Amino acid sequence: MSLAQEMFAIAPALGKANLGAAQLKLLTGKARWIFRVGEAGFPTVPTIAITRAAWDELQAERSRRDSRLRTHWVACLFKLVEKDGKPPVLVVRTSAVLHNGGLMPAKTGIAAPSAPEDSVDPNRPLARAIKEAFESYGPTGRGWAGARSDVDRSRQIVLVQAYAEGEIEQFLTRNAATGVIGPAPVNGHPLPRLPESVAALVSLLDAKAGRHMTCAVAVHKGQVRFLSARPIEASPAAELTAAVDRVERKVWTPQNAVSRVDPSRLGLVLHPRIKLTHDVAPIATGLGVAPGAASGIITFNAEDAARLRARGKHCILVVNETGPADIEGMKAATGILTARGGMSSHAGVIARITGKPCVAGLRTLSVNVAEMVCHIGDREFRAGDRLTIDGTDGKVYVGTLPLAQPQIGGAIGRLLGWSDASRTIAVRTNVETVESAQTALSFGAEGIGLARSEHMFFSPERMVALRRVILSEDEDARSKAIAGLIDYQTGDYSALFSAMHGLPVTVRLFDPPLHEFLPRTDEEIEETAASLGFSVRALRMRLERIAEINPMLGHRGVRLAITYPDLLQMQVQAVLAGARAASETQAEPVQVELMVPFVSTATEVAWVRERTMAILENSGLSRSDRVRFSFGTMIELPRACLRAGDIASMVDFISFGTNDLTQTTFGISRDDAPAFLAAYQRKGVYARDPFVNIDEKGVGEMIQIAIERGRAVNPRLKIGICGEHAGDPISLQFFAGLGVNYVSCSPYRVPIARLALAQTSA
């Protein structure tokens, strides 16, 4: 393309623009909308564009006292002249989409150049304005809206428009909060009175852009002329409503809607969130470990939380870290704020299960429980002060901010319905209570991919029963303690299977990080000793002996099943008894999938399989058509990935626990990562947090190796993903490429996964 072609009319005063392909490519930002609206036949203010390359050459030519290109430029300016032949007053503006980059605002009232030389002389108004406009893009292309802004600044453009008579009015194509089609008011300003013909412009722009636009027009004697438009960020709920509305208006196909909505923003619709009506600065930022926002009164213990809840007050439980003793407090609180721990900390796990917003690992927080006071940085807070936390982004604010409640309206349901039509990978959920299972079902879960059996013990009575097992001094005592769990477990499983009405349920064998289930404070230790009939001294010694230095890599998972075979037997029996009970009360057969966690060798799988199959055989259920039993393992250690071929011959399915696999592949404890993760992201060592977006080149290759080796040996191997990554759209795209059969995520992420996976299939 010659530089002469880089100065052209987007919307000429007379006739059509007739742009070449190369020119069409230059239409970024506002230029694009002006061209498209004009082409569609809506009255548009005459506009021309010039690229930086052309402008620079005009200036170079000028210093050479040449005028070849200038002739083209002057001819281009003549495209702004209407039928009356009078040179119009001019307006100069950048074409950028974003207006937050120090860009020059539109410069109006510029006299048309009276001589060709004036049109390029930077001492004259037109050329001066153009020069300023280019300069305002800044040296790094800040404010530049083209893709790859850093690469080709020469293609940045400036617009010159004829000045339009009449009032300049602004409006949105759709309501920013509700998504209802406009014209709609901008930033809460009153909507100006607009001629009816604006409706056609709104429809036109909405169809062309497929997103919320802010739009400027000139209204003169009831006539509307289009000036410019640029997209705006609407609320996730508004975007959703708009997408569904476009399908109803037949502007989009359902598939368009599915592919255009950003799944990561879908989650924001499903939780309370802070309405940031004006600039409120957070006082600190921790880790957002359980999404949603919460406002409330600061409390430091469960008693106060329960008291406030009883009085219908919201409270935020503020602690250094949480443990079993805090569960009741966490349930009573509206939100949780902790000084220590990460995504997989006790606080994070419990908060997500209970659906409580939680900010964890706020390192500037210190809590003095005894004195009922905490500090966040320099600021001191006492019980009764108010905080607002945002578990989505980890931000903490002083006082009570207004919150928006989740809107699970018809729009999200329709969009997800469309997305299911094009989705080939199943979406399950990670839950272990009937209540959570029902929530997940309402969000469209197609089964349970991970029921963490140890999470069924988060109540005081059961905690005692579990502690009795963990703290047993010898085999006999342990066997007795384990026998005491079977009734709980049978009932739990039966209820869970019934709740799922024949959808598959993957029960993971016991995998408690033991330390999370043990008493810690003096008071808890005394209570536990009393309830177990130990002396306090004996209990302390026992606790000291079983304390682990690295619990994440300790005596857990399949290691418990092999060292305590009674526990394995109790669990398998309880699962089977639960399945039998559920199958007697429903039409559908119960689909049970038993999963062995934390294996690193095929021998471990063989060991558990042999014992499990013997119990199954004894139960008579192996020949029942009322219970369909399958056996699998969780792959969450690098060695299990490498040995997946050996493992695959013994299992019906494998499910990748991507959290632990990320921890071991990187050698990072997620709980301890906050000490360096922020610095790593700031210094560019990690482009993305590998606990949020799957690390494709490391953890991803591990998974790939395992799938290849597993399927080579067992082509019918069913493959799933459970763990946080199963609810992350970027990660889901990667998993879909590996050919997994299903993913399983927390209930609130089920809709996100449904949409994200539909997009990968499209």
Task: Cis check for the bond before 183: say yes or no (omega within 30 of 0).
Answer: yes
In the list 18, 550, 587, 625, the residue contacting a copy of itself (rule: CB under 8 A) is: 550
Task: Considering only the stretches 91-99, 121-129, 137-145, 659-667, report the one whose residues sit in contact with a copy of itself under the rule CB under 8 A.
Answer: 659-667
State which residue, 411 or 661, has the beta carbon closest to a copy of itself.
661
Instruction: Tell how far CA 584 is from the center of its chain.
Output: 40
Contacts for 39-44: CB closer than 8 Å, 24+ residues apart: 40/204, 40/208, 42/200, 42/201, 42/204, 42/226, 43/223, 43/224, 43/225, 43/226, 44/11, 44/225, 44/226
Nearest approach, Cβ of 638 to a copy of itself (angstroms)? 4
Q: Residue 72: name the closest of 134, 18, 128, 6 by CA.
A: 6
Nearest approach, Cβ of 697 to a copy of itself (angstroms)? 7
Q: Residue 648: name the closest of 628, 633, 660, 637 by CA.
A: 633
Q: Tell me: does residue 549 bind a copy of itself (CB under 8 A).
A: yes
Q: Tell me: does residue 32 bind a copy of itself (CB under 8 A).
A: no
Residues 324-363 that bind a copy of itself (CB under 8 A): 339-341, 345, 363
* Site string (565-604) toward a copy of itself, x via CB under 8 A: ---------------------------------x-xx-xx
In order of 326, 338, 365, 454, 634, the CA distances from 322 in angstroms are 6, 7, 14, 17, 27
Question: CA-CA distance, 43 to 290, in Å (whole number)?
Answer: 50
Structure tokens at 734: 């990667």
Q: Tell me: does residue 320 bind a copy of itself (CB under 8 A).
A: yes
State which residue, 14 or 547, has the beta carbon closest to a copy of itself.
547
Residues 697-736 that bind a copy of itself (CB under 8 A): 697-699, 701-702
Instruction: Tell how far CA 420 is from the center of its chain.
Output: 19
* Site string (283-302) toward a copy of itself, x via CB under 8 A: --------------------
Question: CA-CA distance, 42 to 33, in Å (whole number)?
Answer: 11
Task: Considering only the stretches 19-27, 125-133, 173-181, 557-565, report the one whose residues sit in contact with a copy of itself under the rule CB under 8 A.
Answer: 557-565
Active-site position among 76, 358, 722, 745: 722
In the list 276, 541, 614, 762, the residue contacting a copy of itself (rule: CB under 8 A) is: 541
State which residue, 57 or 636, has the beta carbon closest to a copy of itself.
636
Phi, psi of 196 (to 5 degrees): -65, -25
Burial of 150 per CB tally in 10 Å (0-12, 13-18, 19+): exposed
- Contacts for 95 with CB less than 8 Å, ≥ 6 apart: 28, 29, 30, 31, 49, 145, 156, 157, 158, 159
Question: CA-CA distance, 111 to 621, in Å (whole number)?
Answer: 90
Structure tokens at 456: 């069924």
Question: CA-CA distance, 372 to 369, in Å (whole number)?
Answer: 5
Q: Tell me: does residue 511 bind a copy of itself (CB under 8 A).
A: no
* Site string (199-228) toward a copy of itself, x via CB under 8 A: ------------------------------
* Site string (356-395) toward a copy of itself, x via CB under 8 A: -------x--x-----------------------------
State which residue, 508 or 749, has the beta carbon closest to a copy of itself.
508
Nearest approach, Cβ of 630 to a copy of itself (angstroms)? 23
Active-site position among 346, 455, 515, 725: 346
Helix (H, G, I), strand (E, B) or coil at 228: strand
State which residue, 139 or 667, has the beta carbon closest to a copy of itself.
667
State which residue, 200 or 675, has the beta carbon closest to a copy of itself.
675
Structure tokens at 512: 């408690």
In the list 390, 636, 724, 728, the residue contacting a copy of itself (rule: CB under 8 A) is: 636
Helix (H, G, I), strand (E, B) or coil at 380: strand
Q: Tell me: does residue 94 bind a copy of itself (CB under 8 A).
A: no
Cβ atoms within 10 Å of 114's Cβ, excluding its own: 10
Cβ–Cβ under 8 Å, residues 286 and 306: no
Nearest approach, Cβ of 555 to a copy of itself (angstroms)? 4
Question: CA-CA distance, 317 to 329, in Å (whole number)?
Answer: 7
In the list 555, 611, 626, 711, the residue contacting a copy of itself (rule: CB under 8 A) is: 555
Nearest approach, Cβ of 562 to a copy of itself (angstroms)? 6
In the list 295, 665, 731, 744, the residue contacting a copy of itself (rule: CB under 8 A) is: 665
In the list 25, 220, 249, 639, the residue contacting a copy of itself (rule: CB under 8 A) is: 639
Q: Residue 704: name the closest of 667, 658, 670, 652 by CA.
A: 658
Nearest approach, Cβ of 322 to a copy of itself (angstroms)? 13
Nearest approach, Cβ of 686 to a copy of itself (angstroms)? 7
Helix (H, G, I), strand (E, B) or coil at 663: helix
Number of residues forming the site for a copy of itself (CB under 8 A): 59
Nearest approach, Cβ of 743 to a copy of itself (angstroms)? 22
Q: What is the CA radius of gyration of the chain?
A: 32
Beta-strand pair 365-368/373-376 = antiparallel
Catalytic site residue 346? yes
Nearest approach, Cβ of 554 to a copy of itself (angstroms)? 4
Structure tokens at 455: 């999470």
The identity of residue 471, as a single letter, is L
State which residue, 366 or 424, has the beta carbon closest to a copy of itself.
366
Nearest approach, Cβ of 122 to a copy of itself (angstroms)? 43
Nearest approach, Cβ of 744 to a copy of itself (angstroms)? 21
State which residue, 488 or 686, has the beta carbon closest to a copy of itself.
686
Indicate if the alpha-carbon torsion angle 600, 602, 607, 612 is positive or negative: positive
Catalytic site residue 641? no
Site residues, a copy of itself (CB under 8 A): 320, 339-341, 345, 363, 366, 541, 544-555, 559, 562-563, 598, 600-601, 603-604, 607, 636-639, 642-643, 660, 663-669, 671-672, 675-676, 679-680, 683-686, 695, 697-699, 701-702
Give the catalytic positions in this structure. 346, 722
